[in-house]
Structures are given as structure tokens and as C-alpha cells.
Amino acid sequence: MSGKEYRKVKEAFQSNWIAPLGPFVNEFEHVVAGYAGVKAGAALSSGTAAIHLALKLIGVQKGEVVFCSSLTFVASANPILYEQAVPVFIDSEKDTWNMCPQALEKALIEAKRLGKKPRAVIVVHLYGQSAKMDEIVTLCEAYDVPIIEDAAESLGSTYKGRKSGSIGMFGVYSFNGNKIISTSGGGMLVSDDEEAIDRCRFLASQAREPAMHYEHEEIGHNYRMSNLLAGVGVAQMEVLDERVKEKRRIFGRYKGALSTMEGIHFMPEYQETKSNRWLTTITIDPALHICPMEIIEALEKEHIEARRVWKPLHRQPLFRDCPFYTTAPEVPESELLFQTGLCLPSGTSMTESQQERVIDMFRYFLQKNQSHNSSFPSLHL
Ligand SMILES: Cc1ncc(COP(=O)(O)O)c(C=O)c1O
């Protein structure tokens, strides 16, 4: 928190707008949509709710197919199951770690052949890095499939000067506690389609028809954000650009200190994109014979929390029967990233000396282990 949020919360209390509507909700929607450069936004209880409602607005039905990036958090795909639709996962590529356009094309061709055109494509911008949107948009236009950008991790990032989340039919942001800015929990659906966003607000408010006697014609959800939390969001938006700068400074310090170490590679920043560097993420060359879990455990002993890269969804038991498309000749790119990837502590409240300590411990561990040169443990998926 920046310290400014408390004033907004107090204001909400004083005005007694403690409800899933109120002036801060409207203001937050206005500010976020303006920042993204789109016409409208609906403040919701989570990013997951925003993905769910995007699927409903597109009209995804039971049994229909929805494509989704495989290398992501489960929340990107869970809403496909809420609608009893069928997720089809697409592999990553090396330049952005995100949806591979060639694998997407392969999946689209196959879907056409099977007569199972996807109703939507959910493209994730992992750890703040935008996917290759030009290629993905061209393909989706050719096959007439709407895009939902899962920009939960990439608020503040840009693709060719455009804000992440503003390119597809819908963009999704998350304000969960771990995100670049937070309302403790919350999300937003943004779009240039103002009518769709109006309907999103309607579906998020139990689909209550405009009648005094609580009339309902269709299934709704209780997905609106409270005015209290929206107040926090309004204040957080004031510091978003500063947070992006700080995240990038953190990334820069790690890179400056560690990129000269053999076998350590930093997540790329693709040409004409700017990442918010939500998490500083690296890969460790298997030739070093050190797996990410060993580093995580060693750092944990020093009370330093590091994390694995997301386990690809096509390898999750939950999605075991779902199709997966890759163009990799051997191991899919998303699996390689999972096997070798590591997210370093990246919180903006971390001090420089705390980060120095992380760097020192990381270096120490790597050097110590390189001399031991243990064999690369087999992967347990
Ligand atoms: C890629 C991605 N998509 C969706 C979500 C879901 O957002 P929320 O936690 O606000 O539901 C998250 C984070 O939690 C995420 O990292």
C-alpha cells in the first residue's frame, strides 16, 4: 500500500457507501479504463470472475471449445470449466514464454478440420511480458475467433505502445494481493464494447432486471467489487507507474548481478514490448545440474521465498484429458520453462539491501553446487 488508500477507505466509511456499488466503484472503473485506453471497465470481485464473465459475454456454451495458453495459473482456464466448455491448451514459444502463434495456427487448422471452431482464445501475458499479439490477432481474425487477454499479471505493460489488456475483445486485470497493485482481492473486465461491459455489470449483480420487485430471467453472479475496495484501487492506480518502475529496477539489479553467471538466463523482453516485470523470472541451464527446487529449498532456509514457474496446465491432473498443441519437436517449450524456471523475490517493498542478500545467497548456493555438480534430478510432473 502507498499510504493514500486509508484516506479513501475512511471516506467510504464516512459516506456509508459500504456496498458493491458507489462512487469509488465508478471512479475506479473510469480510471482503469482510461489508463488502458479502452472505453469501459467493470470492477469485479476477482480476475477469475472477469474471465468467467468474458466467456459468458462471448456466449460460450456447454461442450464448446476454448483455447488457452498452457503456461499459466489455473485461474486462466478454470472459468472454461465453469461453463462446461472444453479447454484446449497451446504451448509457449521462446521469445515471450507466451502462446506460440505457430502452435495456435496448428490448433486452429485442426479445429476447422474437426468442425470444432473455438469460441474464444484466452491469451495470457505471463509475469508481465506481452504475448506476440500481432501474430495472434492476425490468426484469430482469419478464423474469426474473439480474444480474451488475461492481463492479470501485466497491468502497466505495453505492446507496441498499447497497454496490455487493451488489444483483444476483452482484457482482464487482477487486483489480488500479490499483483502489481492490489485491492486485497478484485479484478476488472475492460473493453471498447460499452454495451458488453454494461451487460457484464448486470451479470455480476445477480442479473437483476430493472424492476422494483427483483425480477430475474437468467443466471447471474455475485461478482461486483465493493466500494471500499474500489477506494483502495483508486489510490493504488496513482502509484501504478511508480510500481512498474520499481519492479523494473528490481529486475535490473538482479540482471546486473546475476546475468554474468554461466547458465542463468533472464526472461526476455520481446521487441517493441515493455514488461511491468511483475516477477523477475529466470531459467537455469540444465547443464548446471541444479534444479529450481534445490535453489528454492536453499533460499527458504535463509527465509527467502522463491517460486517455481507455473506448471503447464496440460500437465495438471485437472486437465488431463484436454487436447494440447505444440510445434516443439521434443519437449514442449512450456514444460522446459517449468523444469528450469525460477521466480525470484520481486516485492516492491523489498529494500535494496534485502535484495543484495537474495543475490548473495543465490550466488553462494550456485557456486557451491557447481563444484559438487550433482546430476539433474528427474522431473516429477
Ligand atoms: C495469469 C492469471 N490469470 C488469472 C488470475 C486470477 O486473478 P484473481 O486471483 O484476481 O482471480 C491470476 C492471479 O491470481 C493470474 O496470475
Cα–Cα distance between 328 and 124 in angstroms, integer? Answer: 19
Residue 195 CA to ligand 1 center (angstroms) comes to 25
Contact 170, 189 (CB under 8 A): yes
Are residues 177 and 184 in contact, defined by beta-carbon separation less than 8 angstroms? yes
Angle at 287 between CA 259 and CA 128, to 5 degrees: 45
User: CB 141: neighbour CB atoms within 10 A?
Assistant: 11
SS3 for 153?
Answer: coil
First to last CA, the chain: 36
Average pLDDT over residues 298-302: 96
Which one of 32, 46, 48, 307 would you pick to mutate in the ligand 1 pocket, going by the greatest count of ligand atoms within 8 A of its CB?
A: 48
Per-residue pLDDT at 370: 74
Rounded distance from Cα 72 to ligand 1 centre (Å)? 9
Region 102-130: mean pLDDT is 98
Using one digit for the tens of pLDDT, what is the confidence trace for 257-286?
999 999 999 999 999 999 999 999 999 999
CA distances from 132 to 104, 230, 248, 330 (A): 11, 32, 21, 22
Question: Is 159's pLDDT higher than 80?
Answer: yes
- What pLDDT is attached to residue 109? 98
| Residues written for the chain | 381
CA distance 157 to 130: 7
Q: Is 98 in the pocket of ligand 1 (CB under 6 A)?
A: no
C-alpha cell at 38: 479502452
Q: Which fold has domain 241-372?
A: Aspartate Aminotransferase, domain 1 (3.90.1150)
Instruction: Report the C-alpha gap between 363 and 357 in whole angstroms.
Output: 10
Atom of ligand 1 nearest to the CA of 50: 11
pLDDT above 80: residue 209: yes
Q: Please tell me what DSSP assigns to residue 119.
A: S
- Going by pLDDT thresholds of 50, 70 and 90, the confidence category of residue 372 is low
Please give the share of the chain, as a percent, with pLDDT higher than 90. Answer: 95
Does the Cβ of 46 fall within 6 Å of ligand 1?
Answer: yes
The arithmetic mean of pLDDT across residues 99-125, rounded, is 98
pLDDT of 19 strictly over 50: yes
pLDDT of 45 > 70? The answer is yes
Domain boundaries, the chain: 5-239, 241-372
pLDDT per residue as tens digits for the range 324-343: 999 999 999 999 999 999 99
pLDDT value at residue 266: 98
Is it true that 5-239 and 241-372 share their CATH fold? no
- Considering the segment(s) 5-239 as one domain, its CATH architecture is 3-Layer(aba) Sandwich (3.40)
pLDDT of residue 286: 93
C-beta separation of 108 from 100 below 8 A = no
pLDDT value at 379 more than 50: no
Helix axes 352-372, 240-258, angle to 10 degrees: 30
Q: Note the pLDDT of residue 1.
A: 92
The rounded Cα 326 to chain-centroid distance in angstroms is 21
Summarize pLDDT for 56-102 with one digit per residue, the tens.
Answer: 999 999 999 999 999 999 999 999 999 999 999 999 999 999 999 99
Please tell me the predicted confidence (pLDDT) of residue 201.
Answer: 98
Q: Could you tell me the pLDDT band of residue 375, with boundaries at 50, 70 and 90?
A: very low
Contact status, residue 69 vs residue 305, Cβ threshold 8 Å = no
E strands along 40-145, which residues? 40-44, 65-69, 86-90, 120-124
Using 50, 70 and 90 to split pLDDT, how confident is the model at 21? Answer: confident
The label of the residue with cell 512450456 reads 334
| Reported confidence tier of residue 2, pLDDT bands at 50, 70, 90 | very high
- Rounded CA-CA distance 249/288 in Å is 27
Return the C-alpha cell found at 200: 457484464
**Atom 14 in ligand 1: residue holding the nearest Cα:** 176
Q: Whose CA is nearest to atom 12 of ligand 1?
A: 152
